[in-house]
Each structure stands twice: as structure tokens, then as C-alpha cells.
Amino acid sequence: MARPCEPSELTASIVVECSVQQCWDLYIDNTQVATWAPAVTHVECDQALLSINSFRKSSINVDGKSGHTVEQCTVFEPLKRIEFNVVEETFGFAHMLNSYGFGISFDTEGEHTLLVMTTRYVPKKIFASLMTSKATQQQLIDLMNNALTGFRQYAQQSSTTT
């Protein structure tokens, strides 16, 4: 029997000049994801505010390729962390990965909030070298950094208008 591939985990972080409570409230609002996540063009969700076991379908455009993901919230620790498993997607990752998910943690950084985003996946053996290559990992890190930067801009702008 072939040995399974090692899990991969990538992280990106950013400091947002808002309180943890403000960041949390903005992040869990499923109706606003397309406002701050650059790759997301539309979101359909089974409820407006994220909670454990909720699902959301995100229409995404990455490098000119359109598709969607369906994420299920698997961890929901208020003001601390949220994790998702990607249960459906149209970009072909399901053919290359045994599991795929992401999460975000919220930590106090003085009067600001440190957000740490993590993407985790286990490549199928035949795709291990592609999915662990520096180029592929850098693309995923760039997507995470873009999402975090978009969220920071949205959150900081929202805090100045309230």
C-alpha cells in the first residue's frame, strides 16, 4: 500500500486597525464577502451570518478562470477562529487533493487585530510534486494575501464610517 502524502499548510497574516469584535462581526457576514474578497464575485449562503455547519457557495474568478467553491464551516469559536472544509469546487482541486480547507484566527494586537489565514491540503500522490511546488504554493499565498488585504481595507473603511 502506498504511503499517503504529507499534509501541506500555508499561512499569511495581516494586522487590521480595528478591534477583534469589529473584525469578527464583519468577517462572519456572508452577505459582504464579495465586497472585500477580490477573487469572489458573488456569494450564496444558507444564512446571512456564518455559524458552525453553515454552507456558502462562492463564485470566484482567479486569473481569468471562473468557477465556484462550496465551503462548510467546521470550527466556529467566537472572536478566536473559524475553519472551513471545501466540500465542492470547480477548479479541479478535487482531482488533485484528498482534502482541502482553510481557516482564519483572530488575535488581539494591542488595539488592533492580527488575522492569520491558513490553507491546508493533502495532495494525492500523483499530484504531490505539483501541489508542493514553490510556484503553486506562492499562488495560494498570493490569494490569501489578496483576501487579507481586501478584508483589512474593507474593515478599516467600515470602522471610519460608523
| Confidence grade of residue 162 (pLDDT, cut at 50, 70, 90) | low
Neighbour tally for 31: CB within 10 Å: 12
Which of 158, 161, 145 is closest to 37 using CA atoms?
145
Q: In the prediction, which pLDDT does 1 show?
A: 41
Which position has the higher pLDDT, 69 or 124? 69
18-48 pLDDT, tens digit each: 999 999 999 999 999 999 999 999 999 989 9
Q: How confident is the model at residue 85 (pLDDT cuts 50, 70, 90)?
A: very high
Question: How confident is the model at residue 50, as a pLDDT?
Answer: 96
Domains and CATH numbers, the chain: 10-161 (3.30.530.20)
Q: Is 0.85 surpassed by the pTM of this model?
A: yes
Residue 132: pLDDT over 90: no
Give kind and range of the element (H or E) at residue 33.
Answer: helix 33-36
Q: What is the pLDDT of residue 4?
A: 61
